[in-house]
């Protein structure tokens, strides 16, 4: 069978039927709609520092394997932080940028990164071919490095055999233990955690705030305008740049439909806050939240408790609410490891970063042990 590696710079050239054959675990961030919306809206482009440089393997002119990949001229929107590495390069008179990155832009979400055909018996070989293509492109393009962020177990075998540097981190996820109601979930928590959540929810209810959920196919133009304004407010409040363009959210609603969700908080029928979620593969992903007015408890209700209730109502197994956040532990979330892999071309820097990652990994082990002391769930059973 004729097998050809290619670089794809425009996802509109990918056939939807070929894409559907790839094993993306029903992850909404690996839907062609999501990735295309990023490019078509201009949220991802050379001008934004995210130049599409997707790795692809074709068999008999059909897409057989794919890795979402970009040439980066900065490290914004990645959530696996390598600013110190870039600074070390700069202080030694070397260029860290441009670099290559296999990841989902602006999305700290684990998932397959070396996608291959679900029906192909050659999946392990195809993953290795994608990996070799990444290495070749990194070297031939004279990029300082290649990074593969937020990987899943399916890719670990190929990545672990490629002499790459492995990096670990933690996120906080909520797991549905077959709860029939939010109250049943609360009963599994320690008394102090349970009382705090009830207090936060009561603050929002007593403020006269009510929530309505809509899917992407139900969202009006006014809803999407409000979503975008809240999204921008959150980024401005933290001194950050809102990278996603307003057209992205419209394209996402059109493309994902029922897999995009918006929870709208209103008071006296006036929208006050929102949280946006994506779903798929038995998971709910909390992406963005924002408000027009600060209300005690509103952030926790919109970003966490609404998502937990949604998972319980629809039998969704896992709620991933985004990166970082130790404060999530007291609200029923538990630490979960994440991994990334890194090819560093400069030998001296590779050795130095390898040493740093070993020490960082030891710190993470100690940190996770410390977090276990703050376990939110009762140990005496239900």
Residue 96: which pLDDT band, with cuts at 50, 70 and 90? very high
Give Cα separations from 187 to 183, 328, 379 (angstroms). 6, 17, 12
Q: Return left, alpha or beta for 120; rule: phi > 0 is left, psi -120 to 50 is alpha, else beta.
A: beta
pLDDT at 185 over 60: yes
Which tokens in the block code for residue 134?
Answer: 């990444």
DSSP 59-90: ETTEEEEEE-EEEESS-TT-SS--HHHHHHHH
Span 335-363, average pLDDT: 96
Span 118-137, average pLDDT: 89
**At 37, is the secondary structure helix, strand, or coil?**
helix
**At 354, is the secondary structure helix, strand, or coil?**
helix
Angle at alpha carbon of residue 326, lines to 320 and 329, rounded to 5°: 70
**Spatial distance between the Cα atoms of 11 and 54, rounded to a whole number of angstroms:** 9
Exposure of 26 by Cβ count < 10 A (0-12 exposed, 13-18 middle, 19+ buried)?
A: middle
Residue with the bigger pLDDT between 34 and 236: it is 34
Check residue 119 and give its pLDDT. Answer: 67
Q: Is the dihedral of CA 307, 313, 314, 315 positive or negative?
A: positive
**Spatial distance between the Cα atoms of 332 and 114, rounded to a whole number of angstroms:** 32
Please give the backbone phi and psi of residue 133, each rounded to the nearest 5 degrees, phi first.
-65, -40
pLDDT at 261 over 90: yes
Give 268-327 pLDDT, tens digit per residue: 999 999 999 999 999 999 999 999 999 999 999 999 999 999 999 999 999 999 887 889
Which tokens in the block code for residue 218?
Answer: 């139900």
How high does pLDDT run on average in the chain? 95
Measured in whole angstroms, the distance separating CA 106 from the mean position of its chain's CA atoms is: 7
Q: What percent of the chain has pLDDT over 90?
A: 88
Which tokens in the block code for residue 222?
Answer: 């006014």
**Spatial distance between the Cα atoms of 217 and 221, rounded to a whole number of angstroms:** 11
Mutual angle of helices 246-256 and 32-40, in 10-degree steps? 160
HSE on the CB side for 347, CA within 13 Å? 0
pLDDT at 243 over 60: yes
Residue 138 contacts residue 345 (beta carbons within 8 Å): yes
Q: Which of 312, 314, 216, 307 is nearest to 258 (CA)?
A: 216
Q: Which of 100, 108, 34, 114 is nearest to 72 (CA)?
A: 100
Span 204-226, average pLDDT: 98
**At 243, is the secondary structure helix, strand, or coil?**
coil
Which tokens in the block code for residue 377?
Answer: 């769930």
Angle at alpha carbon of residue 46, lines to 57 and 252, rounded to 5°: 75
Q: What percent of the chain has pLDDT over 70?
A: 98
CA diameter of the chain: 66
- In the chain, the domains with their CATH numbers are 3-170+336-371 (3.40.630.30), 177-316 (3.40.630.30)
The pTM is what?
Answer: 0.95
**At 276, is the secondary structure helix, strand, or coil?**
strand
Measured in whole angstroms, the distance separating CA 305 from the mean position of its chain's CA atoms is: 19
**Spatial distance between the Cα atoms of 281 and 285, rounded to a whole number of angstroms:** 10
pLDDT at 382 over 60: no
Check residue 381 and give its pLDDT. Answer: 52
pLDDT at 6 over 60: yes
**Spatial distance between the Cα atoms of 151 and 77, rounded to a whole number of angstroms:** 16
pLDDT at 112 over 60: yes
């Amino acid at each position: 069978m004729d097998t050809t590696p290619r670089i794809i710079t425009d996802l509109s050239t990918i056939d939807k039927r070929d894409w559907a054959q790839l094993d993306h675990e029903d992850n909404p961030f690996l839907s062609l709609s999501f990735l295309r919306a990023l490019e078509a809206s201009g949220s991802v482009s050379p001008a934004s520092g995210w130049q599409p440089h997707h790795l692809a393997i074709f068999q008999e002119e059909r897409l057989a394997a794919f890795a979402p990949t970009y040439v980066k001229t900065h490290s914004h929107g990645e959530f696996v932080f390598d600013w110190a590495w870039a600074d070390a390069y700069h202080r030694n008179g070397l260029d860290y940028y441009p670099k290559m990155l296999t990841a989902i832009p602006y999305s700290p979400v684990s998932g397959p990164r070396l996608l291959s055909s679900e029906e192909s018996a050659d999946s392990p070989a195809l993953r290795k071919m994608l990996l070799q293509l990444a290495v070749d492109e990194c070297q031939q393009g004279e990029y300082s490095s290649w990074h593969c962020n937020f990987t899943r177990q399916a890719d670990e075998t190929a990545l672990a055999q490629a002499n790459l540097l492995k990096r670990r981190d933690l996120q906080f996820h909520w797991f549905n233990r077959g709860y029939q109601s939010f109250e049943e979930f609360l009963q599994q928590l320690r008394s102090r955690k349970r009382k705090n959540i009830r207090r936060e929810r009561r603050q929002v209810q007593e403020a006269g705030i009510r929530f309505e959920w809509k899917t992407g196919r139900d969202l009006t133009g006014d809803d999407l305008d409000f979503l975008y304004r809240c999204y921008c407010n959150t980024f401005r409040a933290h001194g950050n740049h809102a990278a996603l363009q307003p057209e992205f959210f419209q394209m996402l609603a059109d493309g994902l439909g029922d897999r995009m969700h918006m929870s709208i908080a209103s008071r006296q029928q006036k929208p006050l806050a929102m949280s946006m979620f994506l779903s798929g593969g038995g998971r709910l992903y909390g992406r963005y939240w924002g408000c027009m007015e600060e209300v005690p408890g509103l952030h926790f209700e919109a970003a966490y408790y609404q998502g937990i209730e949604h998972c319980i109502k629809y039998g969704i197994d896992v709620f991933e609410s985004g990166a970082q956040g130790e404060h999530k532990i007291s609200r029923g979330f538990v630490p979960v490891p994440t991994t990334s892999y890194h090819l560093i071309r400069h030998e001296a820097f590779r050795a130095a970063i390898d040493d740093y990652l070993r020490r960082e990994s030891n710190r993470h082990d100690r940190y996770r042990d410390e977090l276990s002391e703050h376990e939110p769930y009762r140990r005496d059973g239900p």
